[in-house]
Amino acid sequence: MSMTDVGDGPAASTATRKREAKRATAAAVFGTFVEYYDFSVYGYVAATLSTVFFPSEDPVLGLLSTLLVFGSAFLVRPLGAIYFGRLGDRRGRRTSLIACITCMGLAAGLTGLLPGYAQIGIWAPVLLVILRLLQGFSTGGEIGGAAAYIREWAPERRRSLYISFVPSVGNFGKALAAGMTALVASAVPGEVMLSWGWRIPFLLAIPLGVLVLVLRLRVEDSPEFVAAQSRQDSQRSAGAPRRPVRELFSGHRAAVAKVIAIALVQNIGTYVGTVFVAVYLSDVLGFTKASSSTIVLIAVLFAAVLIPAAGHLGARMGGKRLLIWSYAAYIVVVVPAFALMNQGSVGLAVAGLALSMVPYALCQAGTYGTIPEFFPVQVRHTGVAFGHSTGAVIGGGGGPYLATWLIDATGSTFVPAFVLVLSAALGLIVVALAVRPAAPGTSHLYR
């Protein structure tokens, strides 16, 4: 063997690893893009769905019913996290991610084909709830799977940056959902929107899901998982079966609790600050639905660009410090941002919501870069998925409903800002006081 052969081997191997890591990251984040699109469309057309599926003389009651269905998807996310997390920790991240996107794409596509209350009566909201539950079930596994998969492929010093593309590209998915809603709402009359226009954003999920499925079928599992699987297979042959769920709850309960708290704050920021806010702008502040969707679209695109920069910052300062800075920024920025939105001007509303995206971007990058670092590889998918999904049940599922109820009860248009500030204060206490470095020699950073 020549000296050239010896020299080229490691270099070629490193180049191949980097290329495979980028392909794996692309397959994971594009799937998350579609998941976020599919899951968010419902929130952006909630006001229309309330009329189609929950006709009522009281528009607030109809909207609350629609938001309850929106929130119901969060209730099954921990179940999906357990199912897909166990699948990912036992059979591979890739297998789990393929199953997640298939379930989500089918549920969203079928929602677009669903008859309304006028056609099939009570069965319409019943079937809507079932399909929304399937969406929540699949989302429970997607986020944890994508974060764990990318964390195990990415170069060690760039993990925070690579993982930050999960929420960044996910926001582009939400932007597409907002953009499609704005396009349809501006292109068709109101009666057409109620008849069939609302279906278009849901039906787009079908071709998008097929494309992601093809991409995920073409990538391999992470080297870290494959190596751990080989070790566990040897132990299993000696009588030690792999039981990630049991191991998670017997040996990592404190880590799960901290991830739940971090995810709770992040999900309140996501679903109050970027999804519910579309309904807030139209139904509370009086903007047209097309204007509301456009305002959200601009802000979410701004956030999507900021998040990788925040991820790069997290790679330099560490996930814990980034989270602390994000919570402090929420406390300082959010009330002035909502004051701008309350002025009745589209331009000022864009500026206000964009301002609130700065702490949002820091929090997104910090959360996704931090939570995989609480768990070893053998329970990482289950731990991240369950912790994040359980936090989403409280923060994402309850946040929009709580904000709607409090606005109606108090008459204050600043309620969403106060909800965001209080959640950030909770996150600041948890991360500053409870998150500690893991023991030396472990494969993760925090405990």
315 within a domain of the structure (yes/no): yes
Rg (CA), the chain: 22
388 within a domain of the structure (yes/no): yes
How many helices and strands in the chain, by DSSP H and E?
21, 0
> 339 is in which domain, residue-wise?
23-219+251-434
Specify the residue for token string 């278009």.
200
Contact (Cβ atoms closer than 8 angstroms) between residue 382 and residue 242: no
224 within a domain of the structure (yes/no): no
Percent above pLDDT 90 for the chain = 54
Give the pLDDT confidence of 378-417 residue by residue, as tens digits.
999 999 999 999 998 888 777 887 888 889 899 899 999 9
Q: What is the pLDDT of residue 174?
A: 79
Number of domains in the chain: 1
CA count, 13 A, side-chain hemisphere, 342? 12
Question: How many angstroms separate the CA atoms of 67 and 49, rounded?
Answer: 10
32 within a domain of the structure (yes/no): yes
Residue type, 271: Y
Tell me which of 381 and 191 has the higher pLDDT: 381
* Residues 6+ away with beta carbon under 8 Å from 412: 406, 418
Pick from 284, 263, 243: nearest CA to 415: 284
Give the pLDDT confidence of 301-344 residue by residue, as tens digits.
999 999 999 999 999 999 999 999 999 999 999 999 999 999 99
Question: How many angstroms separate the CA atoms of 308 and 329, rounded?
Answer: 17
| C-alpha 254: how far from chain center | 23
Q: What is the pLDDT of residue 35?
A: 84
DSSP 100-149: HHHHHHHHHHHHTT---HHHHTTHHHHHHHHHHHHHHHHHHHHHHHHHHH
Q: What is the pLDDT of residue 97?
A: 94
SS3 333: helix
Question: How many angstroms separate the CA atoms of 105 and 6, rounded?
Answer: 47
CA count, 13 A, side-chain hemisphere, 266? 30
Q: What is the pLDDT of residue 351?
A: 97
349 within a domain of the structure (yes/no): yes
444 within a domain of the structure (yes/no): no
The yes-or-no verdict on residue 3 having pLDDT over 80 is: no
Question: How many angstroms separate the CA atoms of 219 and 217, rounded?
Answer: 6
Q: How many beta carbons lie within 10 A of that of residue 240, not counting itself? A: 10
| C-alpha 259: how far from chain center | 14
Question: How many angstroms separate the CA atoms of 370 and 444, rounded?
Answer: 10
Question: How many angstroms separate the CA atoms of 102 and 422, rounded?
Answer: 37
Pick from 138, 88, 80: nearest CA to 110: 138
- Please, what sign has the CA dihedral across residues 298, 67, 69, 167? positive
6 within a domain of the structure (yes/no): no
Pick from 31, 13, 156: nearest CA to 84: 31
Give the pLDDT confidence of 53-89 residue by residue, as tens digits.
887 766 677 767 777 777 777 789 999 999 999 999 9
Report which DSSP code applies to 422. H
Give the max Cα distance, the chain: 83
Specify the residue for token string 């079932």.
130
As a whole number, mean pLDDT of residues 14-28 equals 85
This prediction has a pTM of 0.86
The yes-or-no verdict on residue 1 having pLDDT over 90 is: no
As a whole number, mean pLDDT of residues 21-36 equals 89
Question: How many angstroms separate the CA atoms of 436 and 347, rounded?
Answer: 43
CATH number of the CATH domain containing 385: 1.20.1250.20
Residue 243: pLDDT band by 50, 70, 90 thresholds?
Answer: confident
Residue 8: pLDDT band by 50, 70, 90 thresholds?
Answer: very low
Q: What is the pLDDT of residue 235?
A: 59
Report which DSSP code applies to 446. B
Q: Which of 22-26, 172-176, 363-367, 382-386 has the lowest mean pLDDT?
A: 172-176
Residue 237: pLDDT band by 50, 70, 90 thresholds?
Answer: low
Question: How many angstroms separate the CA atoms of 72 and 88, rounded?
Answer: 24
Percent above pLDDT 70 for the chain = 93
31 within a domain of the structure (yes/no): yes
Question: How many angstroms separate the CA atoms of 445 and 372, rounded?
Answer: 9
